[in-house]
Amino acid sequence: MKTTKTIALTGDRPTGKLHLGHYVGSIKNRIELQKTSDEAYYMVADVQALTDNSDNPGKVNENVIEVILDNLACGVDPKKTTFFIQSQIPEIAEMTVYFLNLVTLARLKRNPTVKSEMKQKNFGEEVPAGFLSYPVSQAADMLFLNSNIIPVGEDQLPVIEQANELVRKFNSIYGEYFTELKPLLSETRRLVGIDGQAKASKSLNNAIFLSDENDVIAKKVMSMYTDPNHIKVEDPGKVEGNVVFAYLDIFDENKAEVEELKKQYRKGGLGDVVVKKRLIQVLQELLTPIRERRQELEKDKKAIMKIVQKGTEKVQKQATKNMKEMKKVMKIDYFG
């Protein structure tokens, strides 16, 4: 399955609408990759979503269309990027079973991404086996189409490394077949939550969503964590750890003016409300056209799902072909 093509694959778990962290962490990369890659794919990772939502399948089902709408509204073009749904490609699950034979339980438990998410979700020894082994499923997600470029956040690098361990193990047993994956990191390592305590997340209720109305954006920005010791306008303030400036660094295109604001803030004489109002304007200018495009697309959800169905059918054909090749390499193609 070795290839010289540039094949990019990325995706989202359909557990809720997407937020600014997704935008800077992956969607911007998707838009660029669809211009430069030979092939680009976007996967709605509903099977992954079920690893910790198995008791709430309705939530996953309802949010499939939501994550698709968010991506389309931001500019991911279905003419350049093939959209498909993970659960509709059975070869991914089949490949996962084969890969599970190549990894130990101890190795899965050592994966720092899994360990961190287990802690966040309060999983102990009662962790679902599907959740613990989802890096193996992700390896299958990334490899079944022979992808080689994977846009990820820094916190997902251990998942890429584990996938490449599986590639090396598979190739050592069956011969050179898979190509190792190359992660494409976003310019923004991680978007902090508006509370300043952790990364932006729906579950932590500390994110600004791509579909938020202007009044909601304003309210969230005004509640942002700044410098607790910057009580009076004339007081010197700290920029480090100040969420408003962290967002201005990422989203405000006028970098020179942002640097000037930082100088004023550190010296004293610049109030939090002034910088918050600037950020409100910046985010509203970014999100208003995205929100309006989303509202327009939302009027015909059936047409959107038709696009995804067509993409899924295209991917299914390629997955069938690739799985046949893989079984031949593994010497389990009994009927030719």
| CATH assignment of the domain containing 319 | 3.40.50.620
- For residues 130 and 50, the answer to whether their CB atoms sit within 8 Å is yes
Residue 205 counted as domain residue: no
How many CB atoms are closer than 10 A to CB 219? 13
Q: Dihedrals φ, ψ of 5, to 5°?
A: -75, 155
| Identity at 307, one-letter amino acid code | I
Rounded Cα–Cα distance for residues 39 and 282 (Å): 33
Grouping H, G, I as helix, E, B as strand and the rest as coil, residue 146 is coil
Residue 208 counted as domain residue: no
- Give me the numbers of helices (H) and strands (E) for the chain, helices first please: 15, 5
- For residues 328 and 248, the answer to whether their CB atoms sit within 8 Å is no
Residues paired with residue 11 on neighbouring β-strands, in sequence order: 43
Q: Are residues 49 and 25 in the same domain?
A: yes
Q: What is the block-wise mean pLDDT of the chain (336 residues), using blocks of 10 residues?
A: 80 94 91 94 95 91 97 97 98 97 90 81 82 90 94 84 96 95 83 87 89 97 93 92 95 96 94 96 98 97 97 98 96 90
Q: Are residues 230 and 150 in the same domain?
A: no
Q: What is the pLDDT of residue 147?
A: 93
Cα 55 from chain centroid?
23
Single pTM value for the model: 0.90
Residue 134 counted as domain residue: yes
Q: Are residues 176 and 322 in the same domain?
A: yes
Q: Are residues 267 and 223 in the same domain?
A: yes
- For residues 148 and 181, the answer to whether their CB atoms sit within 8 Å is yes
Rounded Cα–Cα distance for residues 208 and 321 (Å): 41
Q: Are residues 222 and 287 in the same domain?
A: yes
CA distances from 4 to 65, 151, 182, 265, 320 (A): 33, 18, 13, 51, 21
Q: Are residues 170 and 45 in the same domain?
A: yes
N-to-C CA span, the chain: 18
Q: Are residues 142 and 224 in the same domain?
A: no
- Looking from the CA of 178 toward its CB, the CA atoms found within 13 Å total 29
Rounded Cα–Cα distance for residues 57 and 87 (Å): 13
Rounded Cα–Cα distance for residues 271 and 204 (Å): 28
- From 86, 60, 44, select the one nearest 304 (Cα to Cα): 44
Domain tally, the chain: 2
Token output for 282: 């910046």
Q: Are residues 33 and 164 in the same domain?
A: yes
CATH number of the domain residue 277 falls in: 1.10.240.10
Residue 206 counted as domain residue: no
Determine the structural domain holding residue 137 and report its residue range.
7-192+301-329
CA distances from 196 to 15, 152, 331 (A): 23, 22, 53
Q: Are residues 232 and 186 in the same domain?
A: no
Residues paired with residue 19 on neighbouring β-strands, in sequence order: 209
